[in-house]
Amino acid sequence: MVPRPVSPYAREPLIPQFYAGKSIFITGATGFMGKVLVERLLWTCPEIERIFLLMREKKEVSPEKRLAQLKQSQVFDVIREYCPGQLEKLYLIPGDTTAPNLGLSVESIGLLKEVSVVFHSAATLKFDEALNKAVDQNVRSVLSLMDICDGMPNIEALVHVSTAYSNAELSTVEERVYAAPVPLQQLLALADALPDQLAADLTPRLISPKPNTYTFTKALAENAVAERTNRKYPVAIFRPTIVISALRHPFPGWIENLNGPSGVLVAAGKGLLHFFCCKRSAKADMIPVDIAIDTLIAAAWETAVDKLDEIRVYNCSSGRNSTTWAQFEMAIKKLLIEHPLDKTYWYPSGAAVENEYVNTRRPRTVDGAASTYLLNILQLITQTIPLHMAEYCSRMIGIKSRLSLITISERLQGMCKVLTFFSMREWDFKSDNVRKLQARLSPQDALIYNLDPNTIDWDALYVDFVKGTRKYLLKEKDQDIDEAKRHLRKMFYVHNGFLVFVTALLLRLSLHAPLVRSLVLGTLRLLFTIVSSTYSRVSS
């Protein structure tokens, strides 16, 4: 596993040289990380030959049209301005990761024979996806892809994109493939044989101690890769932690992903999310998408160069320079006031909820049911009931909206339920292979590819995160920020007026109880006595 040393006489960057004249095959290219991967390859490797992109028909949009839409994405703005010809190197491979043999035609398989490097990043990101669908998209796709790779005469490396949380039941995660939670063939047989309802009923017991079907099937996919021992090409597994907005490339703050922290940011910024369950002191192991992708590109290069028989795993983590959930909370509270989102439903007033008893007394592998119970009550009072009432009132007076407030309420509950497992825990991701890879880069390569999480200034990144969410994710315009601030000021007065009204109402109702009334009056008399006594002493 010892890497070959970099030549001290190299004057040109080695990674762009490696990719020069080579063809690449990418699955999941239309996803958040996939788009940045394509952009970085085109921008940093000008002599790359072709990039084949697997695409399926989606929502009645043909693969050809989806490729045209991809080329118009904001992620390629710099390329369109300075080197538009690079986009002509993108070639469509119609197919579907859930279909046998990825749904590839004979012609497409023939085109892929020139491919040298394969990146497999396609996956379902739904944490609560039905087991059979998660198996099809996250496990069978890997098996089909490796069958296709076996027939590529020029392949030099396959990199499978997994997740650092594929072994989330462990507090320390090393850079190796762990034993499968269940035998692979047994799971495939169960997924085929079980009726949907029975599979749903058995899923919690089957995937335990994994928290959801996403991490469960990602762990099985790693085992599927490791069990293919008769392959004739090197393979690496790449495990990023929580991927967030870009540090620098293609633009600071660029993001197109509503999962995880960005979903919390948007929901809180719109005034819809008021409570979020997290362990405030825990590390929030987030990594900017461009650092993750630069590491991925470099890992493929090292995999091809070293030609190892065993699988090398890369844990891409910010562990050496992590932020915390408390810092995340404080940052977005402040920044959502300075850079408000357009047309907020309510004044952003979210807060983190943490149950100390659960965190300190319960085993780490047991989900904090007590903490989520408190969160559920708070969500019911501050989110579910108000949103349902607002939706019913809107319907009564004939106001129609693009998205039902009841649907928004349900999605908020689902998001919080999924994220609680990760925000209430802390992991130690070992990343020795990534550090060795970073040290191996030539000075010229290090100027192009940033693998170092120590370059993250979290205060600056949070600013770009909020501004990038406005601009790139929500498509809100910078010139509308003044109107957003005026609207937020109105919401501030509405919010505080409502709090005063509720406080006065509760006080009035409580004063009807004799015990409460005597307690309040006694407290007021005591305060008056203390103030009078203090004033008399000062006067004398």
CA–CA gap between residue 375 and residue 531 (Å, rounded)? 40
- Strand boundaries in 464-515, DSSP class E: none
pLDDT at 59: 87
Cα-based distances in Å from 187 to 129, 139, 182, 207, 413: 16, 10, 7, 10, 30
Distances in Å between the alpha carbon of 241 and those of 16, 26, 322? 26, 20, 11
Q: Is 80 exposed, middle or buried (0-12, 13-18, 19+ CB in 10 A)?
A: middle
Determine contact, residues 74/472, Cβ cutoff 8 Å: yes
Question: Quick one: tokens of 207?
Answer: 């995937």
Handedness of CA 491, 493, 496, 500 (dihedral sign): negative
Q: What integer pLDDT is reported at residue 371 of this predicted model?
A: 53
pLDDT, position 530: 72
Q: Looking at this protein, which amino acid is placed at residue 309?
A: D
Are 164 and 315 within 8 A, CB to CB? yes
Give the per-residue pLDDT at 349.
82
Low-confidence ranges of the chain (pLDDT < 50): 1-9, 356-368
Residues 6+ apart with CB under 8 A from 431: 175, 314, 315, 316, 317, 319, 320
Amino acid 272: pLDDT: 86
Q: How far apart are CA 137 and CA 102, in angstroms?
A: 10
> For 145-204, how does the pLDDT look when each residue is reduced to its tens digit (9 = 90+)?
999 999 999 999 999 999 999 999 999 999 999 998 889 999 899 888 888 899 889 999
DSSP state of 54: E
Residue type, 261: P
Would you state the pLDDT for residue 125?
A: 83
Q: Are 87 and 130 in contact (CB under 8 A)?
A: no
* Residue at token pair 């085993």: 363
In this structure, what are the phi and psi dihedrals at residue 295, rounded to the nearest 5 degrees? Answer: -65, -40
Q: Is the dihedral of CA 203, 162, 101, 91 positive or negative?
A: positive
Which pLDDT score, from 0 to 100, does residue 539 have?
A: 65
Sign of the Cα pseudo-torsion (5, 11, 12, 17, in order):
negative
